[in-house]
Amino acid sequence: MPTLESTPATPGTSIFLEQSRVIRASRDRVYQAWTTPELLKQWFGSTKNYCPAASLDVRVGGSYSIQVAPIVPPDTPSEECAARTATAEGVYTKVVPNELLQFTWVPTFSPGEESLVTVTFMDARGGTQVDIRHERFATEASRDAHNNGWANCLEKLDSIAATL
């Protein structure tokens, strides 16, 4: 397992979350679900959102952009949908295929906040254990909102695991 460098704490950087879940698919397939735009679009977002667009340049220094939009009734005006669409973007800082992804996280829904996400993939009974550590939140409220979002993402990922 690769090691991560630690960085000195600065104000706000000690606010973090950690989540783990076993996804019922091979490590290779779960990693592909995180690194292939068409697969990521199938599961990324909370239970009230979907992912209409994703661009992933999965290499150290490569950038990504993930768009999340609300699931709305068909008669909702398009400008209202556009106003509620959010994007998270950033840069990959570590990439170890089938083992680890680390990337900065700059979401439009938390202006001025840049955090760091580390995702590890390990073989586990029944599939792949996915561990997420998301750190450097500006506030506890931001952490709590992201905690719910990541839990929903992992639940959705597991629900489509059979199709991976």
Q: Per residue in 42-95, pLDDT tens? A: 999 988 889 999 999 999 999 999 999 988 766 666 665 556 789 999 999 999
Instruction: Give the separation between CA 126 and CA 22, rounded to whole angstroms.
Output: 8
Per-residue pLDDT for 117 more than 60? Answer: yes
Tell me what pLDDT residue 90 has. Answer: 98
Q: Using alpha carbons, select from 159, 142, 158, 128 the residue that is nearest to residue 17.
A: 142
Backbone φ and ψ of 40, nearest 5° = -60, -40
Q: Are 161 and 54 in contact (CB under 8 A)?
A: no
Q: What is the mean pLDDT of residues 133-152?
A: 95
Tell me what pLDDT residue 71 has. Answer: 84
Q: What is the mean pLDDT of residues 139-154?
A: 94
- CATH number given to 16-163: 3.30.530.20
pTM for the structure as a whole: 0.87
